[in-house]
Amino acid sequence: MKPEISEISQISPDQSVVCILGKCEIPSFLSLTKSEKEYAIRRLKEKEEMVFINSYFKCTYLVKVKESVTGYREKEEVRKAASGMKKLLKSNNHSELVITSYATYKGAIEDFTEGLILSVYSFRKYKKEDEDEKRKNYPSRLLLYGDKGKSEIRWLTSLTDAVYFVRDLINEPVNHLNATALGAAIARTGKDAGFRVDVLTKGKIEALKMGGLLAVNRGSVDPPVFCILEWKPPKPVNKEPLVLVGKGIVYDTGGLNIKTGDYMASMKGDMAGAATVTGVLYVAAKNKLPLHVVGLVPATDNRPGGNAYAQGDIITMFNKMTVEVGNTDAEGRIILADALSYAAKYKPFLIIDIATLTGSAAVTFSNQAIAMMTNADRKYVNLLEECGKEVYERIAELPFWDEYGDMIKSDIADVKNIGGREAGAITAGKFLEKFTLHPLIHLDIAGTGMLRKDDHYRLKEGPGSGLRLLATFVRRLAAEYKKMK
| pLDDT tens track for 380-439 | 999 999 999 999 999 999 999 999 999 999 999 999 999 988 999 999 999 999 999 999
Residue 98 and residue 212 in one domain: no
Selected catalytic residue, list 2, 66, 148, 259: 259
Q: Which of 147, 169, 199 is the last residue of a domain?
A: 147
251 in the same domain as 123:
no
Question: Which of 113, 147, 181 is a domain's end point?
Answer: 147
Mean pLDDT of 213-242: 97
Name the catalytic one among 64, 86, 218, 333. Answer: 333
Instruction: State pLDDT tens for residues 73-126.
Output: 999 999 999 999 999 998 998 989 999 999 999 999 999 999 999 999 999 889
Instruction: Calculate helix-pair angle for 108-119, 150-171, nearest 10 degrees.
Output: 20
| 63-86: pLDDT as tens digits | 999 888 889 999 999 999 999 999
Q: How far apart are CA 296 and CA 474, in angstroms?
A: 16
Whether residues 100 and 168 share a domain: the answer is no
Q: Is the pLDDT of residue 484 over 90?
A: no
Let me know: does 252 contact 302? Beta carbons within 8 Å. yes
Query: Domain for residue 340, yes or no?
Result: yes
DSSP, collapsed to helix, strand or coil, labels residue 167 as helix
Is residue 204 flagged as an active site residue? no
Look up the domain containing 253 and give its range. 159-484
Tell me, yes or no, if 333 is annotated catalytic. Answer: yes
User: 410-446 burial, b for 16+ CB within 10 Å, e for fewer?
Assistant: eeebbbbbbbeeebbbbbbbbbbbbbbebbbbbbbbb
- Could you tell me the CA-to-CA distances from 298 to 13, 182, 205, 223, 331 in Å, in that order? 54, 10, 10, 11, 11
Report the relative pairing of strands 4-7 and 141-145 from DSSP bridges.
parallel
329 domain-assigned: yes
What are the φ/ψ torsions at residue 349 (nearest 5 degrees)? -80, -20
Residue 320, domain CATH: 3.40.630.10
